[in-house]
Structure 1
Amino acid sequence: MKIIHTSDWHLGQHFMGKTRQAEHQAFLSWLVATALEHDVDAILVAGDIFDTGSPPSYARELYNHFIVSLQKTATKLILLGGNHDSVATLSESKSLLAELNTTVIAGVSDELAEQVLVLKQKDGTPGAIICAIPFIRPRDVQQSLAGQSAEEKQLSLQDGIFKHYQALYQLALAKRAEYPQAQLPIVATGHLTTVGASASESVREIYVGALEAFPTSAFPPADYIALGHIHRPQKVGGLEHIRYCGSPIPLSFDEAKQTKEVLLITLNHGGLQAVTPLPVPRFQELLSLRGNLAELEVAISQITAEQNVWLEVLVSQDDYLSDLPSRIQAMIGDKSIEVLRIRKERNTAASWQPGHTETLAELSPADVFSQRIAGEELEPSLQKQLEGLYTEIVLGLQEAKP
């Protein structure tokens, strides 16, 4: 059986005022062609399909058009909700999409059996069992108790997620017993951070003050674990069968040099046979240049006239001048380069045009709070205490949400 593992599409994302619509359209068209080329049985999307809970209409249109286009490949589609996705938004078309060979698991179900799927191959024979686990919110798996500290809530959440995985894995084993001749492999999913995963600046906190990282050892012994949320493709703990596929397009400048990919998973009755990275073409070039004015001029001169580049400039030394934007623009000349951000290297955001500064979308709420109190020159013990109180307050507010 062949499965494409992908995640973190973030349809509808605006990047420093620029839409990613054309890039996402190109990626989704490429994905349909790739599924056809490799005769894939299923595509598994491990969360963060949309960038926000209320995606713009064009993002919904991209989503719907992709699902319809995929029908010509006879490929099964499994869509899992991420922390950026709205359970209500994904669920609203769930019944309709089921008629289009698409299963949507927007959030944790009250009936756990609904998250255990027998995945069929194109010839109609069972090929794998999926423990379809979306992003898990604290209220899905834990009960808040009065007087709990932030640390106790973290441990409680970790235990709740562990029990959820174990319960679904036991259901998957029971389901596999119904097909004794097939010896079906088991695939689990997840949308969370695991211990040792390497993130990037575009990965916002999953849940402020909640679980920071789920231990790799706490996953059940599935044949393959398809993860989402971290945008950098990687093995977890060096393990071949626990993978982040990463986002298909770079969502921040620090992802610009990454090779973006989806993962082609091959399974049979013996379990996982191969994981093959399929590089995703770069549909819009992002480039981050660092240096003083002389170094920047050399670097910009090496960009060819044919390249269409979105550029970030990180200025070092003492070259941060009021006329810097015009100097950079003079270096660019008539090349197809659009400067999206100029900033000083020492964490001081700068404007490259009037009114353009680093936006709150680039920071997590915890980042904003930490930066605010860092400016007060407090004792380290008091700063840590305030951060702990902030965490407890945010957790209490989140748990109070209906």
Structure 2
Amino acid sequence: MKILHTSDWHLGQYFMGKSRKSEHSALIDWLFDCVEKNAIDLVLIAGDIFDTGSPPSYARELYNTLVLGLRHRHCQLVIVAGNHDSVSMLNESSSLLAELNTYVVAAATPQQPHQHVIELYEKGSDKVAGLLCAIPYIRPRDIVLSEAGEDERGKQGLLAEQIKVFYHEVYQIAQEKSVALGGVPILGSGHLTTLGASVSESVREIYVGSLESFPLDFFPPFSYLALGHIHRPQKVAGLEHVRYSGSPIALSFDELGSQKGVVIVDYSKSLANPIIETLSIPCFQPMLSVSGDISCVVKALKNALDTLDLKDKEAPLWAEVTLVSDEYVSDLYRQLQQALDDLPIELLRVKRQLKTQAQAMDNTNQETLSELSVEQVFERCLQSAHIEDEKPALTRLFKHHYQGMLSKQQELDNENL
């Protein structure tokens, strides 16, 4: 059995006013070829198949094309809903799609956990080769009720615990089935943020004011965990079998640094130790983000055209430009347009940044909060505040209070022991 894991297609998305229809159409054609060449038995889309709850008609047509194309290739399709998807819209055709070998899980149903266990088959066989705990994006109202007087930390803890319980209840049902079937592998899915995942600017926070990220050790011991919501492909905590496939096309300019792809999980040689690999997706729409002064930006864009060899003006390069300068340029967009006249380039976003800001960003090396200690975070704050005279006093106060907090925490730990 071979499984292809993908997520976050966002059919119907408009990127800064530009339709992604042609890209998604090309993606579906590529996927069909991939399924045939790699003998894929199941395609799993881990959430956000659509960009909005009311997608345009062409997005629904692409959805139908995907379903029918995989049905024609005798490939099972499982779609779990994401935070962008409409439960009612996905549910309206789920019973019909089930007759076409497509299974849609639109909402979490804690009262009926057995509905989340889907049997997986090899092509041309009625034998169950695996089980999927198909868990979609979990809306807090579907799984837990807040209690009066509960603080924010209490709400977060309660929600995380209830999600954990739900996952384990579904896994328990799958485990019993697996034993009855002779020990087939159990896979899981999820559409959420786990601790340690790296996000991009196109990712919407989904537990605002509540649970921001779900602890990895709260998941059951799945053979493979297919995650969605984060658009950058990545392993979670360095684990081979816990992955975000990432979005198949770049949904923001800051995603251009990561190669888009799908994850193939191959159980054909071993049920206990599947071969897990990433298959790269070609770029269907050239995009580029450049920064510098006007001359540097224009040169970079023209060099990109030479590299891409873009001849067709109907498929232009989409560009984001950041002008780095301490001087105010009132007609920046017009100057760029004139410099790029008659070239197949569309400027989707033009920004201005002061040189001092750019240098500060370079000095931080794009550090993330998780990579810094408490002391380093404090140092970065002082550096950005530009209050040289007050630094010594603020540093003394910080060290005094921080050491006091550590001492109190140590005392509490000793009492608990």
TM-score, normalised relative to structure 1: 0.83
Equivalent residue for 2:166? 164
1:336 maps to 2:344: yes
Structure 1 window deviating more from structure 2 (169-178 vs 43-52): it is: 169-178
Alpha-carbon deviation of 1:3? Answer: 0.3
Structure 1's unaligned 5+ residue stretches are 348-402
Equivalent residue for 2:112? 111
The answer to whether the 8 A contact 2:326-2:354 is kept is no
**Which digits, 9 at most, give the CA deviation of each residue in 1:177-231, with x for residues without a partner?**
2112xx2011000000000000100001113212111111111111100000000
Structure 1 window deviating more from structure 2 (304-313 vs 4-13): it is: 304-313
- 3-state SS of paired residue (1:311): strand
The answer to whether the 8 A contact 1:12-1:51 is kept is yes
Amino acid at match of 2:65: H
The answer to whether the 8 A contact 2:134-2:188 is kept is yes
Go from structure 1 to structure 2 and tell me whether the alpha carbon gap of 1:272 and 1:139 turns closer, same or farther (over 3 Å shift): farther
1:92 maps to 2:92: yes
**Which digits, 9 at most, give the CA deviation of each residue in 1:142-201, with x for residues without a partner?**
121111112211111111111111111111111112112xx2011000000000000100
Amino acid at match of 1:29: D
Amino acid at match of 1:102: T
Equivalent residue for 2:353? 345
More helix by share: 2
2:159 & 2:186 partners in 1: Cα distance?
24
1:207 & 1:131 partners in 2: Cα distance?
22
The answer to whether the 8 A contact 1:241-1:272 is kept is no
1:27 & 1:161 partners in 2: Cα distance?
33
2:326 & 2:353 partners in 1: Cα distance?
10
Alpha-carbon deviation of 1:346? Answer: 6.0
1:155 & 1:70 partners in 2: Cα distance?
41
Q: Among residues 121, 128, 131, which one is paired with 1:129 in the alignment?
A: 131
Q: Among residues 152, 155, 158, which one is paired with 1:153 in the alignment?
A: 155
The answer to whether the 8 A contact 1:13-1:20 is kept is yes
Equivalent residue for 2:208? 208
- 3-state SS of paired residue (1:165): helix
Runs of 4+ aligned residues of structure 1 deviating over 6 Å after TM superposition are none
Equivalent residue for 1:381? none
The answer to whether the 8 A contact 1:248-1:260 is kept is yes
Equivalent residue for 1:376? none
Amino acid at match of 1:326: R
**Which digits, 9 at most, give the CA deviation of each residue in 1:104-162, with x for residues without a partner?**
10111231101011211112221111000000110122121111112211111111111
Structure 1 window deviating more from structure 2 (250-259 vs 186-195): it is: 250-259
1:232 maps to 2:226: no
What pairs up with 1:352-367 in 2 under 5 angstroms? none
**Which digits, 9 at most, give the CA deviation of each residue in 1:230-252, with x for residues without a partner?**
00000000000000000000000
Structure 1 window deviating more from structure 2 (288-297 vs 6-15): it is: 288-297
- 3-state SS of paired residue (1:343): strand
- 3-state SS of paired residue (1:302): helix
Amino acid at match of 2:82: G
Amino acid at match of 2:131: I
The answer to whether the 8 A contact 1:131-1:187 is kept is yes
The answer to whether the 8 A contact 1:186-1:223 is kept is yes
What pairs up with 1:14-93 in 2 under 5 angstroms? 14-93=14-93
Go from structure 1 to structure 2 and tell me whether the alpha carbon gap of 1:272 and 1:78 turns closer, same or farther (over 3 Å shift): farther
Equivalent residue for 1:270? 271
- 3-state SS of paired residue (1:43): strand
Alpha-carbon deviation of 1:303? Answer: 2.5
Q: Which has the larger radius of gyration?
A: 2
**Which digits, 9 at most, give the CA deviation of each residue in 1:346-384, with x for residues without a partner?**
69xxxxxxxxxxxxxxxxxxxxxxxxxxxxxxxxxxxxx
The answer to whether the 8 A contact 1:8-1:46 is kept is yes
1:346 & 1:31 partners in 2: Cα distance?
43
Equivalent residue for 2:295? 294
Q: Which has the higher contact order (CA 8 A, sep 6+)?
A: 1
- 3-state SS of paired residue (2:267): strand
Counting aligned pairs with the same residue, the percent is 48
The answer to whether the 8 A contact 1:162-1:218 is kept is yes
Go from structure 1 to structure 2 and tell me whether the alpha carbon gap of 1:320 and 1:22 turns closer, same or farther (over 3 Å shift): farther
- 3-state SS of paired residue (1:51): coil
The answer to whether the 8 A contact 1:301-1:331 is kept is no
Note the aligned Cα RMSD (angstroms).
Answer: 1.4
Structure 1 window deviating more from structure 2 (285-294 vs 225-234): it is: 285-294
1:273 & 1:119 partners in 2: Cα distance?
15
**Number of paired residues?**
345
- 3-state SS of paired residue (2:275): strand
TM-score, normalised relative to structure 2: 0.80
2:327 & 2:34 partners in 1: Cα distance?
46
